[in-house]
Structure 1
Amino acid sequence: MSAPTEPQPSTSTTSSSTAMKAPSSIQVNPQRAAVLVQNLSAIQSRIASTLSSLPSPQSARQVRLVAVSKLKPASDILSLHSPPPSDAPTAVDGHQHFGENYVQELLEKSRLLPRTIKWHFIGGLQSNKCAQLAREVEGLWAVESVDSEKKAGLLDKGRGERNQRLHKEFGDEWKAECERHGWQDKLRVFIQVNTSGEESKSGLEPGSAELVSLAKLIRSESSCPNLHLQGLMTIGAIARSRATTKETENEDFITLRTTRDKIAEEIGLTNKEELELSMGMSEDFESAVRLGSDEVRVGSTIFGERPAKKDAKVIEDTETEKK
């Protein structure tokens, strides 16, 4: 099977007219949508400003913005993916890339929302959820928290089963159907690296033999024919994020970049930038961009404070009442 056709970082918007119409049970509040669009636009502007401050050719890079929508209702996602028409200067086209942390929540949202959304799974991944995640989430663009050969193998198995199902459903036109929705046959994966050394964090140790072995396994057509190694991801220490300034760059980001360079050499890549860096969140994404991040994951700065997991609802009560 072919590798994904978007190996380079892409811009994070697409015309909302291309999105499938969402179920009528999801009602977008125009006032809430306007706030979300304004917040998203502000983050995009800050990314652009950071890039423009860098010397060429770094200033010409594109950085993917993943809007982390965990524990937020489907209506918030729809507000950004298919925003209501607006003449406001902050109006944006439909945002494509959204990140989720919980498999069950992602499964539910992916069944409710337009198939044109590009989902990123960024949470801690349990082995017993891997195959289901890769098999059942249409539009799953990437899994960013892979940290073992077992999980990689199960993701590969699930993606293969998904491809077989599509082939059975659409016959020889299954790849054309994927292309129509912007799906890929291979699932992109990022290896999670524990750059801070914290026991509470998942991920492999920088420079470890396990990290090199996992990278080689994912790139092996015989071992993982349904996966594509997109790059490395880190979460990093909160204290380092809060202490980050232009003068004191984040040590976790420097470590991930150095690790990427070494891994690229170990697996025989002539261009180290073929492996992306996914690093940077709400408090430190500008520092991450300065240090070469290809993707930042921003949640609370766009969506606001999250509810407790027990209180989170995919479909809000106010939406349910409007059915």
Structure 2
Amino acid sequence: MKGLECRFFSIKKSIPKNIKILAVSKNQNISSIEKLYQIGHRDFGENYVQEMIKKYQKLPKDIHWHMIGGIQKNKLKYIVPFIHLIHSVQNIEHLQIINKEAFKHNRVIKCLLQIKICNEKNKTGITNQEADNIMNNDIYHHMKNVKIIGLMGMASLHGSTQKIKQEFYSLKKLYNEYQRKYQHHILSMGMSNDYPIAIEYGSTHIRLGTSLFGKRKLP
């Protein structure tokens, strides 16, 4: 068994069985994705619609594709027919577009709200209050083809361990509240540099790129 497969099983062995690994395949070639597919992995995350569509067209159709990058409103319609989970919803308009397109395909699209839990400028997301406003919005409540089932967040890339713990704790606290109020059941937090801490703070889905694939390589 070679490097990629070994890294996958090593990580999988080191974490609780109930934690789902999302392989972040952004800028990875088809063969790398196929290697993980051949050993049974099915969940892959992409940042860009165009790249996801190209891979979807070339790879087996039982792969679960996750959109983890910023939402491009004019391109949502292209992924709605097959997307498994959208991690990066930030406003009602996103939900309205998803709901409209999902209706055309007789699907209910599952989504997460992306919460901003750190102060880094390149990290996007909404505040807890903005999330409350979405969850309590009558417009959302009348949507039949989209469902918010959890939260996603990204901790500081260069923060101290204590800072990262505080950021994950803040998201877990909101998740616990939404779990009680709205039956949320997915908490997507933790990447290659901080996933052990994320798991400690209750993550259900970790998003791993570099720790699995190594440095990114273009197709």
Whether these two folds match at TM > 0.5 is yes
Partner residue in 2 for 1:290: 200
Matches within 5 A, 1:272-311: 274-307=184-217
Quote the residue 1:95 is aligned against: 41
Q: Does 1:244 find its partner at 2:212? A: no
The equivalent of 1:157 in structure 2 is: 100
Amino acid at match of 1:275: H
Cα distance per residue 1:58-78 (max 9 Å; x no partner): xxx711110111100111111
Counterparts of 1:73-112 in structure 2, within 5 Å, are 73-82=29-38, 93-112=39-58
Q: 1:77 to 1:217 in 2, by over 3 A?
A: farther
Q: 2:15 aligns with which of 47, 50, 58?
A: 47
Q: Name the counterpart of 2:118.
A: 196
Distance 1:198 1:121, change over 3 A: same
Aligned match for 2:90, one of 147, 150, 155: 147
Note if contact 2:26-2:45 (Cα within 8 Å) is conserved in structure 1: yes
Structure 1: 4+ residue segments shifted above 6 A: none
Shift in Å at residue 132 of structure 1? 2.3
Q: Which runs of 5+ in 2 are unaligned?
A: none
Q: Is the 8 A contact 1:219 1:228 kept in 2?
A: no
Shift of 1:117: 0.4
2:105 is paired with a residue whose SS is helix
SS of alignment partner, residue 31 of structure 2 = helix
1:199 to partner: Cα distance: 3.1
Tell me the TM-score normalized by structure 1: 0.63
CA distance in 1, matches of 2:111, 2:8: 25
Q: How many residues align?
A: 219
Say yes or no: does 1:257 pair with 2:172. yes
Cα displacement (A) at 1:298? 0.5
Matched-pair contact (CA < 8 Å) for 2:46–2:67? yes
Structure 2 partner of 1:70: 26
Corresponding letter in the other structure for 2:170: T
Matches of residues 168-207 of structure 1 in structure 2 within 5 Å?
Answer: 185-205=107-127, 207=128
Q: Does the CA-based 8 Å contact 1:69-1:99 persist in structure 2?
A: yes
Q: Partners of 1:131 and 1:216 in 2: how far apart?
A: 25
Gaps of 5+ in 1: 1-32, 49-60, 83-92, 164-184, 314-323
> Structure 1 vs Structure 2: percent identity of aligned residues?
29
- Do the aligned residues in 2 keep the contact of 1:131 with 1:156 (CA within 8 Å)? no
1:187·1:228 contact (CA, 8 Å) conserved in 2?
yes
Deviations 1:248-287 (A, max 9, x none): 762211110112233445xx34x6xx33211000011111
- TM-score by structure 2 length? 0.91
